[in-house]
A and B are shown apart, each in its own frame.
Chain A
Amino acid sequence: MDLIVEGIIQAFVLLVHGDPEVMRVAALSLGISLAATVISLFIGVTLGTAIGLTRFYGRRFLVSLINTGMGAPPVVVGLIVTIMLWRNGPLGVLHILYTPYAMVIAQCVISLPIITGFTMASIQQVNPKLRLQILALGASHGQLLWLLLRETRLPLLSAVMAGFGAIISEVGASMMVGGNITGQTRVLTTAIVMETGKGDFGLAFALSLILMALVYLVNLVLTLIQQRSRPR
């Protein structure tokens, strides 16, 4: 119980005093995860819409891969991205291993199947006749896609929340491709693991509280957008 109280007090102190290292770690966490979410959103919505609206040979296999990817362990993703970015790996020439860029890539790989899967499911849930109705109203194919996505905005925002939630809280991939380097790739989750390992439970708990507050704030904003978008 003392540890929890101590953690809350320490978190409060760190936030009030604006501890530069904590702020930097928190900002990096948020920046990396938001960038990965935005990139995954663009790719995932495009892919999910295309797969949701079309029928082609091998579609079921692709859908099963996406569904599996939704539950892919971050450490496995971290391992694969590390191998890809390793000096002698296929993308080694980029020299981005142990940089925030590598962490963005790893987090994209984690959130992309989630956002793609959610988009695909929500697009497939739309009554097929609604597509015909929108076309009948005079929509071009581009306008049809836009209106369908607008119609599925509530589940799509849930997809964003799920994708963001999965990557802001993951630690395995960030540790493996980022290396938890002070001042460069240390993020909240890797810092929590490290402080816990050192036995500094107070600081670990304080960082956890900050992480939870960030997750809550981002989800609060998304929830407000989600709930405001429907007329009463």
Chain B
Amino acid sequence: MNQAVLEARQLSMVLGERQVLQIPSFQVLPGETLVIMGPNGSGKTTLLLCLALLLKPTAGSLAYHGTTVKDAAAELQLRRRFAVVFQEPLLLDTTVLKNVTMGLHLRGIDSQEAKQRAMEWLGRFGIAALAEQSARTLSGGEAQRASLARALALQPEVLFMDEPFANLDAPTRQALIEDFERILRETKVTTVMVTHDRNEALTLANRVAVLIEGNLRQIGLPHEVFASPTDEGVAGFVGVENVLPGVVSAQSKGIATVTVENQKIDAVSELPAGSRVTVCLHPEDVTLAQPAVEATTSSARNHLTGTVIKVFPIGSQVRITIDCGFPLIALITRRSFEEMGLVTGQNIVASFKASSIYLIPHR
């Protein structure tokens, strides 16, 4: 295993009487893009600022390539190896070019090289033509591009980003994420990014860490975290809207039958009968069909008949809540919704595969 570029040990932050961060160990590995996710107020930004040496934790230490950072002089030297991009572009009141060269000057790079690097990165983010313009005249998207160019021109060993795309409109955001993803692939710069956008995490992350109430609840590969959350909090945050308590009532050849509110659900799991579990099911894994159609067309193992109790459109999709003895949420396309002509009170069959279910055993 590669030695961590950064490692936080026994990190703790107390603000007033509130413990906002309590993390025994946290590692940033070389070349990875580590995305820290979590709901608002979970301590994501606090953790990022502590790692970037911009906030002093109440307790704990930070090691850089295994060496503990001890004094202010070492912190300054280390900060000069990092770069940070915030949610707001935070450009200074000068030209775009001077904004990008400022950090380079502070790090002792001579003017000619600073200008060359700045122009190169402004070019890579498609805003070289704006170099001599006042930073105050840029649009939101241009300003955030300038902010990213400013950070990457520093050639940081670790790039920290605090929800850098959150303030942008959807098309600008998508374009910038695509550009940034390409640049991450090309530069392989070690990146720690905070977001609460699941799509951003899935697009950019090599590893995902989920922080809830200041505690690191899960860290792992994106598909592991999204498909196999370790607890209900993580499940809820990574988009598992169906989180149901149940008990394994039978086990047969790797298929566990779970009883949830008198309904039987089959799941791929080795858990023995009698295990108390939380059933996790992504709403997009649930398909809906009219009762007559379902039996002949679906290959899914689980079919639950229920009544539509709520219909809620979300953009191009529609969120349907079905009462199957317990509320089950399905996410279907608007087109499917219109074709089926779903209305509240209608009977419907909800189907899902045994492999779509993830069971969290209760300890």
Contacts and interface: CB of A to CB of B under 8 A. Distances in A.
A binds B: yes
5 contacts: A137-B102, A140-B76, A147-B92, A150-B92, A232-B137
A135 interface: yes
A232 B130 CA distance: 11
Interface residues on A, range: 10 to 19
A133 B76 contact: no
Interface string A184-222: 000000000000000000000000000000000000000
A231 interface: yes
B134 interface: yes
A137 to B, nearest CB: 4
A231 B133 contact: yes
A139 B76 CA distance: 8
Interface in B275-304: none
Contacts of B134: 230-232
Nearest to A131: B54
B88 interface: yes
B228 to A, nearest CB: 35
Contacts of A139: 106
Contacts of A232: 133-134, 137
A127 interface: yes
Considering residues B80, B106, B160, which has the most beta carbons from chain A within 10 angstroms of its beta carbon? B106
Interface in B133-148: 133-134, 136-137
B52 interface: yes
Interface residues of B, number: 28
A151 B106 CA distance: 16
B133 A133 contact: no
A68 interface: no
Contact of B54 (A127, A135, A143, A147): A135
A27 interface: no
Interface of B: 49, 52, 54, 76, 79-80, 82-84, 86, 88, 90, 92-95, 102-103, 106-107, 132-134, 136-137, 150, 154, 160
Interface of A: 127, 129-130, 132-140, 143, 147, 150-151, 230-232
A132 B106 contact: no
B92 A132 contact: no
A134 to B, nearest CB: 8
Given A147-B92, A231-B94, 6 more contacts: A129-B86, A129-B88, A136-B83, A138-B103, A138-B106, A231-B134
A129 B84 CA distance: 11
B90 A138 contact: no
Given A135-B54, A136-B82, A127 B90 contact: yes
B90 A129 contact: yes
Contacts of B154: 137-138
A141 B222 CA distance: 39
B79 A135 contact: yes
B87 to A, nearest CB: 8
Given A138-B106, A231-B95, A133 B79 contact: no
Contact of B90 (A130, A230, A231): A130
Nearest to B73: A140
B93 A230 contact: yes
Contacts of B107: 138
Considering residues B54, B90, B103, B132, which has the most beta carbons from chain A within 10 angstroms of its beta carbon? B90
A178 B102 CA distance: 48
Contacts of B86: 129, 132-133
Contacts of B137: 232
Contacts of B95: 231
Nearest to A229: B93
